């Protein structure tokens, strides 16, 4: 079986994490920026989880698991240290729900890859649960190649794309501009924080194509 890679929009979607230990904490903190509606179900949770609960960013149901906890969930993560509880979570979910068991990826219908974020740039690495350590190692190597400058660079490309789509009708002209924007000088000017020079170069490119 091969997994189908996909990026999920979890905005306001109901996400339930069963468990309150370090594994659940790691899963939770990767989900926080998605702006999902997150509930943690566990009699006890870590101090970091308590902190985000007190901030109002996460709900905490301070009890043991029951099947009603996942009834309305879009995505469920079973992250307890009890195989029996994780099995109960799995049995309580319906086929159309997204379910991950931290101790049994073979029964999960999704896995979470190792991910590098640079603003709108998202690079994910997965070994299909064969070796999470290798995924992490590869991601760490990629983080050196795709440094922090890529966050600003990708944002620049995003704004350029909108302007090109708004002002250039001909598809071939658009393609040429988009290709030019990927040349190293635009990235290097971003690294140097020479934003004015970079923007002037883009506007000159746009003007050339319009003429």
**Helices 22-31, 47-54: crossing angle, 10 deg rounding:** 40
Q: Do strands 121-125 and 114-118 pair parallel, antiparallel, or not at all (unpaired)?
A: antiparallel
- Dihedral angle over CA of 135, 183, 157, 13, nearest 10: -20
> Cα(86)–Cα(104) distance, rounded to whole angstroms?
9
> Cα(180)–Cα(134) distance, rounded to whole angstroms?
35
- How confident is the model at residue 79, as a pLDDT? 97
Distances from the Cα of 183 to the Cα of 168, 176, 186, angstroms: 20, 11, 6
Domain extent listing, the chain: 1-112, 113-146, 149-210
Question: What CATH code is assigned to 1-112?
Answer: 3.40.50.720
If the chain, 211 residues long, is cut into consecutive pieces of 10 residues, what is the mean pLDDT of each piece? 89 98 96 96 98 98 97 97 96 96 93 93 92 94 96 97 94 95 97 97 91 74
- How confident is the model at residue 145, as a pLDDT? 94
- How confident is the model at residue 2, as a pLDDT? 83
> Could you tell me which residues come within 8 angstroms of residue 180 by beta carbon, excluding any fewer than 6 positions away?
205
Do residues 17 and 40 make contact, with C-beta atoms less than 8 angstroms apart? yes
Per the DSSP assignment, residues forming a β-bridge with 100 are: 77
Selection from 65, 111, 103 nearest residue 81 by Cα: 103
- How confident is the model at residue 49, as a pLDDT? 98
């Amino acid at each position: 079986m091969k997994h189908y890679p996909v990026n999920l929009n979890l905005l306001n979607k109901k996400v339930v994490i069963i468990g309150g230990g370090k594994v659940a904490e790691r899963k939770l903190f990767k989900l926080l920026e998605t702006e999902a509606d997150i509930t943690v179900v566990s009699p006890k949770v870590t101090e970091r989880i308590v902190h985000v609960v007190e901030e109002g960013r996460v709900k905490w149901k301070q009890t043991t698991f029951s099947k009603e906890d996942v009834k309305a969930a879009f995505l469920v993560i079973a992250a307890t240290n009890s195989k029996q509880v994780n099995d109960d979570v799995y049995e309580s979910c319906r086929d159309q729900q997204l379910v991950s068991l931290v101790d049994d990826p073979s029964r999960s219908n999704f896995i979470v890859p190792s991910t590098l974020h640079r603003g709108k740039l998202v690079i994910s690495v997965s070994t299909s649960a064969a070796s999470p350590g290798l995924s992490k190692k590869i991601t760490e190597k990629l983080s050196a190649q795709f440094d922090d400058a890529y966050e600003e660079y990708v944002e620049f490309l995003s704004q350029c794309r909108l302007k090109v789509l708004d002002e250039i009708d001909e598809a071939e002209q658009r393609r040429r501009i988009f290709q030019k924007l990927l040349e190293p000088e635009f990235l290097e000017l971003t690294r140097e924080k020479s934003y004015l020079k970079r923007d002037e170069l883009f506007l000159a490119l746009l003007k050339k194509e319009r003429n």
